[in-house]
Structure 1
C-alpha cells in the first residue's frame, strides 16, 4: 500500500468514525426531545458512516493480507481507536434511545 493510499484509508477511518459518533450523539439528543423519527434516521446515518469506515478498514486489511504491509504510525493507531470508539458509542446510543422510548410510552 503506497503512502497516499494509506493516508486516504486512515483519514477515511477518522472522518467516517467521527461522522458516526456525531450522528449517534444527535440521535440521543433527538430521542431526549421525543423525536424518535429523527433519532432513528440519525442512527441509520451513523450506520452508513460506519459502513464507509469499514470499507476503508477492509481495504487496509486486504492489502495487509496480500503482503503489502503498512507502517504502523500514531495516526494509523488513532484512526483505529476512532473507529472503535464510534462503534461503541453508536451501540450505546441505540440502548439509550431504547430507554427513552420506554419512558415515553409510560
Structure 2
C-alpha cells in the first residue's frame, strides 16, 4: 500500500471509529446499553486499525523512508485524534447514562 492509500485508509478507519462512538451515544440516550457497548467496541476496533496504519507510517519514517508532510496527512492525523477523543468521551457518557438509569430505577 503506498503512502496515499495508507493516509486514506487512516481517514476511513478513524471516521468509522468516530461514527461508531457517536452511535453508542445515541443508543445510550435510548437506554439501550447493550447496543451502546457494542458500538463502543466497534469504535475501538476501527481505531486499532487506524492506529496500526499510523504506526506503519511512523516506523517507515524511522527506517528512513521520508514521509511528505501533506495537508492530507495532517487531515488524517486530525481525524484520528478527534476520533480517539470522541470514543473516550462516548465511553464516559455511556457510563453516566447507565448510572443515571440505575439510580432512576432504584428511586422508582
Whether TM-score is above 0.5 comes out as yes
TM-score normalised to structure 1 length: 0.95
Residue 34 of structure 2 is matched in structure 1 by 37
Question: C-alpha distance in 2, partners of 1:70/1:94?
Answer: 34
Residue 82 of structure 2 is matched in structure 1 by 85
Runs of 4+ in 1 over 6 A off after TM superposition: none
Matches within 5 A, 1:7-26: 7-26=4-23
RMSD of aligned alpha carbons: 0.8
Structure 1 unaligned blocks of 5 or more:
none
Structure 2 unaligned blocks of 5 or more:
104-108
Based on CA coordinates, which of the two structures has the bigger radius of gyration? Answer: 2
Matched, 1:56 2:66: no
DSSP-derived class of the 1:72 partner: coil
TM-score normalised to structure 2 length: 0.93
Choose which of 52, 67, 73 in structure 2 pairs with 1:76: 73
In the TM superposition, residue 82 of structure 1 has moved relative to its aligned partner by 0.3
In the TM superposition, residue 41 of structure 1 has moved relative to its aligned partner by 0.3
Residue 105 of structure 1 is matched in structure 2 by 102
Question: C-alpha distance in 1, partners of 2:61/2:92?
Answer: 35
